[in-house]
Amino acid sequence: MGGLERPCPQEGFLCQPVSLCAVFGSGTTLTVLGQPKSPPSVTLFPPSTEELSANKATLVCLISDFYPGSVTVVWKADGSTITHSVETTRASKQSNSKYAASSYLSLTGSDWKSKAVTAARSRTRELRVWAECS
C-alpha cells in the first residue's frame, strides 16, 4: 500500500490512500499513461445522526484526483474483509483529467456504534478503508 494513514475527523476512524494498479488475467486492463501517476485523495464520511436514529449506518468513501483510473476498494473491520453490503462506483474522469470513485458500506447502527466505541479506545480494532490490487 502506498501513502500514509491519516486520521479522519469523526469517530476515530482511519482512511488510507488506495493503491493504483493494472489488472491482468480475466478482465485484463492495460493503461498507457498519458500523464504522470497521481495518488488519490481519500475522504471517509461517517453516517448521519438521522440515519443512526433509524439504526442504520452508511459509510461513504470518496476517492478523487487519482491517475490512472483503475482502482479496487476493499473495506475491512477488525482485520477482516467486508464483502457484503458494499457498493463501489466505477471510476469516472474529472475535469482535470484525473479520476474519482465512491464506495459505500452499509452497516446496522449497532455495528457502527460498537466499532466506533472500540476504535476510540484501541488502535488494534479500527475500521479502515483502502484498496488492494486484485
Q: 95 or 19, which is more confident?
A: 95
pLDDT band for position 39 (cuts 50, 70, 90): confident
The yes-or-no verdict on residue 55 having pLDDT over 60 is yes
- CATH homologous superfamily of 6-130 equals Immunoglobulins (2.60.40.10)
Residue 32 in 3-state DSSP?
coil
Return the pLDDT at 66: 87
Model confidence band, residue 27 (pLDDT cutoffs 50, 70, 90): low
For position 92, what pLDDT does the model report? 95
Can you read off the three cell numbers belonging to residue 106?
Answer: 452499509
31, 33, 56, 134 from 18: Cα distances, Å: 17, 18, 26, 12
- Residue 112's H or E segment, with its range, is helix 109-121
Of all residues in the chain, the percent with pLDDT exceeding 90 is 14
